[in-house]
Amino acid sequence: MSTAHVLLGLLAAGPRHGYDLKRAHDDRFPQAKPLAYGQVYATLGRLERDGLVVRSGQDQESGPERTSYELTDLGRERLDTWLTEVEPPAPYVSGTLFNKVVVALLASGIDQATGYLTAQRAAHVTRMRELTAIKTRPGANVGDVVAADYAIGHLDADLRWLRTTLARVAELQKEVTA
């Protein structure tokens, strides 16, 4: 997910300043990593440079002066294009989990790889429990539930992979150390 595209999407509702964009992001994507203010303003600077947003005014309520930004026609076009693009499935069967297992086998052997897989499985189960608690808590909104379901689905796939890899780790060691 591109921060620039998310900010364009948040600006589609109308002009906002960086503080409001950060707060809206963190409210709308509670399971995502919170944005840093510096990241918001750096991204707005690039969006402005590229003609996707323009400054639309300045406010000064009880704090520092805040510049509001709004979407340009080009920004709206870029957002609409991004929203229609299908995300390609991951092209390579590689990721941090897989890489760590192979490196552990190469560097330290089967015990290190098995220990890593076991610890990673425990961490995934813990995170799945946390997400399940989020989605089943009283008053959970649909956004929280949908975001938790998405993350749980990915964690569940990882858990299946971890379980299968644990069962095959001895065979994998023979292949990677041959």
Mean pLDDT on 130-155: 90
Confidence of residue 104 (pLDDT cuts 50, 70, 90): confident
> Both ends of the chain: CA-CA distance in Å?
39
The CATH number linked to 74 is: 1.10.10.10
Residue-range definition of the domain harbouring residue 50: 3-84
Domain count across the chain: 2
More confidently predicted of 23 and 92: 23
Residue 39 near residue 25, CB atoms below 8 Å = no
What pTM was estimated for this model as a whole? 0.67
Residue 152 lies in a domain: yes
Is 107 in the same domain as 80?
A: no
Residue 91 lies in a domain: no
Identify the pLDDT of residue 32: 77
CA-based R_g, the chain, Å: 22
